[in-house]
């Protein structure tokens, strides 16, 4: 049994991490920014996250930290220059946590980074390797800089660090574009995606939290950076059809060439949104399989079914 603090414990991933770690027999302590998180009983409150955050109480008696809290990627970012805002939370907040954790005897930090720290696109048939580093937007830059800050503190203090880079995460409680995509299919809306033959990696909440649980304890995880996914990469069209099967509502797709969709998106100022539908972004699981003998325990069909059940009940 290990005492583990989970930051961002009221969030989409953090809540599931707390539940999963408790099922594994650990003492999982939720750490949140404010008291308005009824979904996290007996949470430890730290306030806003940044260079001045006092993590002392949150770290009392803690052996391992799973750091999920972050300034999340925003599809419609309004700041003229959002990078300083991302850096304040994601970089300086992470550095501050690592420094205070090392002084208070915490053994390991498992950091939830993002595929965006590695890049936005991969070449067809050439998934991104675990050491890839080509962030394109402010969020991705901040996540990569947070990784480097964490590694610097680890090298200076002996604090063990583990970095996990998930691609798109889905599951019960999912929000954003994935939720909108599922709702569109559930309502039978026709979608111009029938000709899209890209490949995208994604990961179910269950598979992500399973790897986090392994990385909390595995000696071989220390000092490593891992990609995580469901182990099967789908085209956007194939994903729509799988979602349709899970929902019991066949996806209504009609073919429009990807180049045409991209051109229309540029004209409408929606290039980034369309890129996530037509572009290829695959990650390589070779490193995590070899280092930890880990494979995703949940199939895509199981993950989509779990999400579809949630959608029918709670939406």
Q: Which residues are catalytic?
A: 139
Give the number of other Cβ atoms within 10 Å of residue 301's Cβ. 13
Contacts of 73 (CB under 8 A, 6+ apart): 114, 116, 137, 139
Locate 17 and state its tokens.
């991490």
Task: Give bridge partners of residue 169 from the DSSP assignment.
Answer: 203
DSSP one-letter string for 32-66: ESSS--TTSTTPEE--S-STT---TGGGTT-SEEE
| Cα gap 47→34, rounded to integer Å | 6
**CA–CA separation, 178 and 240 (whole Å):** 10
3-state secondary structure 130-197: CCCCCCCCHHHHHHHHHHHHHHHHHHHHCCEEEEEECCEEECCCCCHHHHHHHHHHHCCCCECCCCCC
The CA-CA-CA angle for residues 126, 76, 270, to 5°, reads 60
Cβ-based neighbours of 59, under 8 Å, separated by 6 or more = 5, 65, 100, 101, 104, 106
Distances in Å between the Cα of 117 and the Cα atoms of 142, 156, 204, 276, 279 are 8, 23, 19, 16, 17
Residues β-bridged to residue 168: 202
Q: Which residue has the tokens 């599951």?
A: 171
Cα–Cα dist 278/267, whole Å: 16
């Amino acid at each position: 049994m290990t005492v583990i603090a989970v930051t961002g414990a009221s969030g989409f991933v953090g809540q599931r991490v707390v539940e999963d770690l408790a099922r594994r027999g650990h003492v999982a302590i939720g750490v949140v920014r404010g008291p308005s998180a009824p979904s996290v009983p007996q949470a430890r409150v730290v306030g806003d996250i940044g260079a001045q955050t006092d993590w002392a109480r949150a770290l009392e008696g803690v052996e391992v930290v799973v750091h999920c809290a972050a300034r999340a990627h925003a599809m419609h970012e309004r700041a003229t220059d959002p990078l300083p805002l991302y850096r304040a939370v994601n970089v300086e907040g992470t550095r501050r946590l690592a420094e205070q954790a090392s002084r208070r005897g915490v053994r390991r930090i498992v950091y939830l980074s993002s595929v965006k720290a590695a890049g936005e696109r991969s070449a067809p048939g050439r998934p991104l390797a675990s050491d890839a580093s080509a962030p394109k937007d402010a969020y991705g830059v901040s996540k990569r800089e947070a990784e480097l800050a964490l590694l610097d503190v680890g090298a200076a203090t002996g604090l063990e660090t583990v970095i996990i880079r998930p691609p798109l995460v889905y599951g019960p409680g999912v929000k954003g574009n994935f939720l909108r995509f599922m709702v569109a299919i559930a309502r039978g809306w026709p979608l111009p995606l029938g000709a899209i033959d890209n490949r995208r990696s994604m990961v179910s909440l269950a598979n992500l939290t399973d790897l986090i649980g392994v990385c909390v304890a595995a000696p071989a995880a220390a000092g490593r950076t891992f990609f995580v996914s469901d182990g099967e990469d789908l085209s956007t069209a194939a994903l729509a059809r799988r979602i349709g099967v899970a929902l019991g509502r066949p996806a209504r797709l009609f073919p429009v060439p990807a180049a045409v969709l991209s051109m229309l998106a540029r004209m409408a100022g929606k290039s980034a949104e369309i890129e996530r539908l037509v572009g290829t972004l695959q990650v390589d699981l070779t490193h995590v399989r070899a280092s930890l003998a880990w494979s995703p325990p949940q199939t895509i069909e199981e993950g989509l079914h779990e999400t579809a059940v949630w959608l029918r009940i709670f939406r």
